[in-house]
Structures are given as structure tokens and as C-alpha cells.
Structure 1
């Protein structure tokens, strides 16, 4: 809130707005803008709560959005920072931001802003994220009918080619097949045939790319992909910020068992003492007042609740500390 209010105050000074000339100060304008982002409520209601007209509410909202957008980093600056931080790769993807129906048609007569893929109106934006999924950069919007590969060619691919030449490749999904050198995408299966029609090396590469793009298994798949590029264990450990012994372990498991070996092994651990049904019954009992169950108490204590659980045969035995947990 305070950050946006400071940006709005600086913006007003920069454009020469006289003090007291606005219906709302920078802080109350920031409240209006952030409420719209958080609640997605109607601008009429936000303007009413702020004590301004609907037209002024729209003007203040768009001004706040523009001020925030000006703080977004430049694509080339983002790529320079990623290389300086030693990131192993970037992730490119696109998404559809829903919107109301917008006028405009394509050459074939279809609505320009209607996405056949998502079956809804919206705008296509491209974004880059770090290996851990942190958003780094977002493109300008294109009409919803624009394919991801077309939007990427317009906004981001030329810069990614230079980054790939400098050792920073990009991973993407099958929607970016044909994007060019440095954009690693899975290989599409032959039409009308299953994934097994691909050779084992291609299927393995496809699975590794999916694992790296997904949250689960990202670090393990990254180790394997970097190893396939001829990197040493020490270099991979430094880039992924893992211990060299961890890198050596996962490389060995993949070499011995392939992709299935990257999954967690079954752990013995302590057997479960209580079933999910018993846990739910104990929680339901704890949510009732003792008087409703006939117990002469004003509220449950853990020892009393444990005795009631045993008395009702919910469990054969249970300690007060287990009830507390």
C-alpha cells in the first residue's frame, strides 16, 4: 500500500499536479487500485466507497495500473540478471487472461479476442519464470486468438536466442515447437500413435523436460539434463546450490534405473496408529460442547477428551498429547 502510494505521489509531482487538486490523495488512490486487484469488484462500487464518480474511479484505476506497469523490468535487463545469477535455464509459457467480449474479428470472421483453445474471451500474455517458478517478466497482451508461438515470436524469442547463445537455454511446452535454437521443447508423438512410438532416448528427454518445468522433481531432472550436457558434478552442484554428494547420488540412480529411479523410494517409517476416520471422529467430538455429549464440563480439556474418545470406543487408547496434536 505504502509502496504504491509513494509511486503515485512521485507520478503526480512529475506531471505537475497541484497539491490538493485531486479528489483523492495518493494513499486513498492506492487503496482503490489494490482493492480492485484483490477483490476484482466493480469500479462503480470502489468509486462509491472512495467518494468519487465512476469516471474518476476508472481514471484513478488506470493511472495506478500504468504507474505499476512502469516498474516492470525490461526483458534484456532480466536476461542479464539471470546470467549474472548463474541460472541454469528459464521457463517460457503463455496464459489467457479472461476479459469481457471485445469488438474485432479476424480475416476468417472469428472473434479476434476469442480463444478456441480455452473457449473464452481474453488476452494472450507470455511470461518467463526462473527455474523455481518465480515470475521474472511478462509480455504485452495479444488478442486471445493468437497462438503462443506467434505471441512469443513477437515479444520474446529474439532476445531468448541471444541468451541461449550465451549459455542460458529456455524450456517450453509443445505449443512452442518450431520456436528455434535454444528453446528446448518435447518432441511431439507421431499423429495417431502413442508416445511409445518414439524411441527411448526421446521419451526420456520429453519426461525430463516436463519434470524440470513442473514443480515436483525439478532439481533431480535438472541434474540429469545438465549431466547430459557434459557438466561435472562440482559444476552442477554450484549451479543448483546442492551438495556434490546429492548430485552424485541422483546421477547414479538415473544411470542405474532411468526415470523411475528419480522418484522417492518407499520409506518404512512408523506405521499409522489411527485411521483417517478415527481422526475425523476425534475432531468432530472436540468441536462439540461437552454439555451436548452429556459430560459435566464447561469445555474440553485434552485429558477429558482422550477419556471420552476411549469411552466411545473411537480408539482403544489415546494419550492427551496425541489429542492435542
Structure 2
């Protein structure tokens, strides 16, 4: 009886050892595969950055929010010039109609809709109307935003709530309205405008920076959710981080070195956004070098970057 017990114990120990060896071997193989795939992904990304494939937007339907002026208007004009069909949303009916009028003047196709993106019910109703009238929306550009600039203690509750409603929550409501169709067709692209204020915290922009950091997190989380829940999905996400653009939102910018930090022209910003969308870049700043500055700033001590920031002295004064 004792011999049988010892034999059983010996067999259990041997089986456990075999399991341990198998588990270790599996982990080693997984690590090797990870290293190989890791470097393949890096090489592929480098090759893609030098020879990107551009998506043809001719004949595609592009929905843009905030098309009445600034970046939104330039995006609509430039997408139309590439042969896209434009769905233009803006709260300012007159300005939005003017954008559509300019597009139609040179033979483009565009349709204006008045929408206050603060109101989810307006977004949902208009989304359903657009789907019925125009079919599948290929590209959505969440561009609308506001940018009050003054110290946090001078911001009113209404200002802060409006900023989050327009700059963040509208992205979520529009994504919820149109993403199901993209998932069903396994295609489409969502472009979200964050800001370089989504890279760095700046005085006089505490709520605004908060909204732009939120957009960055929103898009990164959405990317991971789609990747894991729908492994074969072909939906593309692009997040844009423009520097200060000369649209009137940034009323009192200041720079120690204007040649280095001059305002971006709306036409140039729009061109950069469209280029990023057409080449399926996930994250890009305008100008592009700000993305590299942000990455560098995360690996050096915070007090060291503050010295650089104080030396450059770039930001915005209060608009009050």
C-alpha cells in the first residue's frame, strides 16, 4: 500500500514537472514570436512612413462638423476639390450655407445642415436623416470646438459645460450615431480633432486642455476596443493635434520666437488633416514636429521641460 502511494506521488510529481516544462516552453516561444513580430511591425511602420498609401476619397461621403468657418470650412472645400461629397454640419446656418454655396460654385456636391452638437437629440435625428438621404457616410471629421482663454477661476460653469459638450461629448454622440453602420460594413474612418493642448497643459486653457486630453484618450480607447472586440475590423481612426490655428479662436497668442511658433493657416491645417486621413495615420500633429517634442518631453524630468517651456514662452494670454 505504501509502495502504491509512493508511486502515485511520484507520477503526480512527474506530471507536474512536465506541465511546468511545457508552460515554460510555451512562454519562451511566445516571447520569441513577440520579439520577431515587434521588429516586423517597426520595419513596416518605417516603410509606410516613407511610402504611404493614399486613400482615394473621390465619390466618398464626408461629414464634417463646424464647416461654417475656419478649419471646418477649409476641410469641406479641399475634400470637395478631391471629388468627395460633403455633408456640412454647423450651428451657424448662414455661414454653413455660404460654405456649401462656394463648393457648388465650382461644381462640387455639398449639403448644409444646421445642428447644435451640444444637443444629443439633434445629432441623433440628423444622423438618421443623413443616412436616409445620402446612404453610408464613409468619413466623419469631428472638428467643431470652442476655446475660451482665461484663468480657471474666471471660467463660468456655462463656459466649462459648453466646452465639454462641444469638444468632447459631441464626439461620443456622433461616434455612437455612425459607428454601428461602420461596424456592419467593416469600413469607414473617424477623424477627431484634439490639439497640441492635448499634449501640454497651458495657463489660461485649463478646461480647454482638459477637453483635448479627453479626445486623445477617447480615440485611443476606441481604437483598442475595436481592435480587441472586432479583430478583423477595417475601420480607421485618426486623431489630429493642431498647434494654434489662425481661425479667431486663439485671440491673444504670444511667442518669444514668432518664426518658430507662428500661427498655422487654416488652409495648411486642413491640408495636413486630409493628408493624415488619406494615409491612415493614427496620430499626427500639425506641424508634425510637435508630436516628437511631446514624446521627448515625456522621457525627461518635468522640471527640465519647464525650463525649456519658460525659455520659449509660447502660449495664450487671457482673452478678457
Bin the TM-score by the shorter chain.
under 0.3
| Higher relative helix content | 2
Q: Give the structure with higher Rg (CA).
A: 1
More relative contact order in 1 or in 2 (CA 8 Å, sep 6+)?
Answer: 2
TM-score, L = length of structure 1? 0.23
TM-score by structure 2 length? 0.23
